[in-house]
Amino acid sequence: MAPALQRIGGFWREGRWRAGAQLAAAVALAWLVAVAMRLPESFWAVMSVLIVMRPSAGGTLGAGWERLRGTAAGALCGLAGVYLQHRGAPVLATTLATVMLLAFAGAALPGFRSAPVAALLILSAGAIPGHSALDVALLRMLQIGIGVGVALAVALVASEYRAGPRFDAGCAALLRGMAKRLATLAALGPGDAAGLPAESEAERANAAARAALARLALLAGSADLEARWWRRGAAVPAAQSCRSKARLAARIFQDATVLERMLRRMPAGGAAWQDTARAAAAALAAMADALDGQGVPDLAKLAQLARRHESPGASSALLLLAAPVCLLLEDLQRMQRCVAAAASAASAA
């Protein structure tokens, strides 16, 4: 029983119960609203909550908008199918063709995944006696709107986390991990190849970082939706968007990975190689601190090394590092401007 009790205790201590309590409250509220409006099949509002609810307001807004858009398209196609049936078209053939067409469109366009379900419900409108196909379409849209609205309201009031700060924390963690790897290389002496991490370990770390980048790309969309919501519909400038920061984080990771691989293959590079690894690690760590709101990153040391690597009198060993160091510096400077623009916009708001 001890492992089970530990998992239960961790569930409560780490606050993972909040997402469940948030979803349960939204389900109860959606059902009460549908019952108060005397809507038939009030659990359709509950189903919409279960489909679109996310721990963050931005994620809930994105999923809710996709469900509303897909349901509206499916309702219109379902009404068109009902019209064709009234004009004499075979019921089975019309229903199957409509659902198959919308299923194909839903696979090609993720925002329309709920369209075939909505069309099928309207084409089988006889499931609600006393209601026409148009009544069923309007009722479905109303119930789904109630579910999405309740889910969004609960997410805004009691969301488990804000997507923007969580995205910045994820980017900072990614950069700190890469800074730690470069700092490990900088701590090795010339010719100390035995202290290098194994190639398989580096590949596992790179795979984990790529998975983190994929999660950050999804989280960036939710963060931008949240920012647009709090700005009351105003578009987020490209220079301040989390999507822009996600792309820059991916480029910085690629630059640092190339630099790390070159340093791993030059264990006898001497002090110049160690200075390069140390400066790159410090710049990455400083940028991670800036993403966490801890001041402005100092990129002067890395810029000085980049100029030294590009100088005409540089050795062949330094010239090999010129390209990855300069690319890393340029992308870090872009990230610095992006963070500064977002911080000035937040302070102005």
pLDDT in tens, 48-70: 788 777 766 666 766 667 777 88
DSSP letters along 288-334, please? Answer: HHHHTT-S----HHHHHHHHHHHSTT--HHHHHHHHHHHHHHHHHHH
Confidence band of 197 (pLDDT split at 50, 70, 90)? low
Indicate the average pLDDT of the chain. Answer: 77
Structure tokens at 187: 């701590």
Sign of CA dihedral 177, 323, 301, 291: negative
- Distances in Å between the Cα of 101 and the Cα atoms of 111, 134, 214, 330 are 15, 21, 31, 47
Predicted confidence at residue 13, as pLDDT, reads 47
**What is the pLDDT averaged over residues 8-19?**
55
pLDDT at 28 over 80: yes
Structure tokens at 25: 């409250």
pLDDT in tens, 220-255: 877 777 776 656 545 556 556 788 888 889 999 999
Predicted confidence at residue 233, as pLDDT, reads 46
- Distances in Å between the Cα of 332 and the Cα atoms of 39, 226, 239, 280, 296 are 55, 25, 14, 10, 12
Distance between CA atoms of 43 and 28, rounded to whole angstroms? 10
pLDDT at 345 over 70: no
Q: 220 and 167 in contact (C-beta within 8 Å)?
A: yes
**What is the pLDDT averaged over residues 74-103?**
85
pLDDT at 288 over 50: yes
- Distances in Å between the Cα of 325 and the Cα atoms of 189, 277, 283, 322, 332 are 21, 10, 11, 5, 11
Q: What percent of the chain has pLDDT over 90?
A: 5
pLDDT at 127 over 70: no
pLDDT at 160 over 60: no
Place of tokens 């239960």: 8
Confidence band of 302 (pLDDT split at 50, 70, 90)? confident
Better-predicted residue by pLDDT, 209 or 295: 209
Look up the pTM and report it.
Answer: 0.63
